[in-house]
Amino acid sequence: MNNPSPYTPLQGLPLGKGDWVMNNINSMNVPEIIKEAAKKLRNNMTDSEVILWNHIKWWDLGVKFLRQKPVYVFTEESWLDRYIIPDFYCFDRKIIIEVDGSIHDLEEVYTLDRHKEELLQNQWFRILRVTNKVIEKDIKSVILNIKLFL
């Protein structure tokens, strides 16, 4: 199959390397272990993730978000196929929302988060990080920030 255009229709941004494959993830065979990991995450959402999901799941923001959907990332430097499972993912706008609890303050988790962000940004994703505390205290401002990010 040929990729007919080097631009995404909604953003007008050039596609990243391997982007055609990533955008056609539904036609790929996601490894069963990745599918199971995503399902486990969907079934064990944090309170903050549930709060946010209840505000973004029904096209209320004009776009469709998926929760814990595996995203394919090809890493050219190591020639490895990887799947990253973000908290929330908008396919049309290539936006990922990550909900961060206190565990993300740990150095090793922080370092892993930055590495995943770099891989995703190399595929033209935009990432919005929101803390549990902000979601629980002021969900209205979180939704406003998401709208502005769109």
Domains held by the chain: number: 1
pLDDT given at position 110: 92
Inside any domain, residue 82: yes
pLDDT for the residue numbered 126: 96
pLDDT digits (tens, 9 = 90+) for 32-75: 999 999 999 999 999 999 999 999 998 889 999 999 999 998 77
What is the mean predicted confidence (pLDDT) over 18-36?
66
Which residues, 6 or more positions from 109, have their beta carbon under 8 angstroms from its beta carbon?
Answer: 103
Question: What range defines the domain where residue 66 resides?
Answer: 19-149
> What integer pLDDT is reported at residue 24 of this predicted model?
47
Nearest to 140 by CA among 52, 49, 80, 70: 52
85 pLDDT exceeds 80? yes
Whether residue 12 is contained in a domain is answered as: no
CATH number for the domain spanning 100: value is 3.40.960.10
Q: What is the mean pLDDT of residues 77-104?
A: 89
pLDDT at 78 (0 to 100)? 67
* Continuous segment of H or E residues that includes residue 89: strand 88-90
Residue 130 belongs to a domain: yes
pLDDT tops 50 at residue 90: yes
